[in-house]
Amino acid sequence: MKIRLFIKPYCPWCHKAQKWLDARGLVYETLDVITNSQALTEMVNLSGQRFAPVIEVDGRILADFGPEELAVFWEKLSAPDERS
């Protein structure tokens, strides 16, 4: 599972997202969109907006979220595929 978290260092929601991922022992790449203009461009292209945090998990995107939305997103990622 490839996890990338786009953050702004001063963003409290970004810190909460990092704590949420850390508490579950998940390995993820952190991309600071303030110091890395390429990461900012990629975040905007993926999410359609400039708000952080944005998380990408194996190509699935959740943008501008808090811990509650992250938990729901993660549950949906873990759910069996209902299309089969």
Topology of 3-64 in CATH?
Glutaredoxin (3.40.30)
Distance CA 5, CA 81 (A): 24
Tell which residue, 41, 53, 50, 38, has the closest CA to residue 6.
53
Domain boundary assignment for the chain: 3-64
pLDDT digits (tens, 9 = 90+) for 53-81: 999 999 999 999 988 899 999 999 887 76
- pLDDT of 81 reads 62
- pLDDT of 78 reads 83
pLDDT digits (tens, 9 = 90+) for 1-47: 899 999 999 999 999 999 999 999 999 999 999 999 999 999 999 99
Q: Tokens 């400039």 sit at which residue?
A: 50
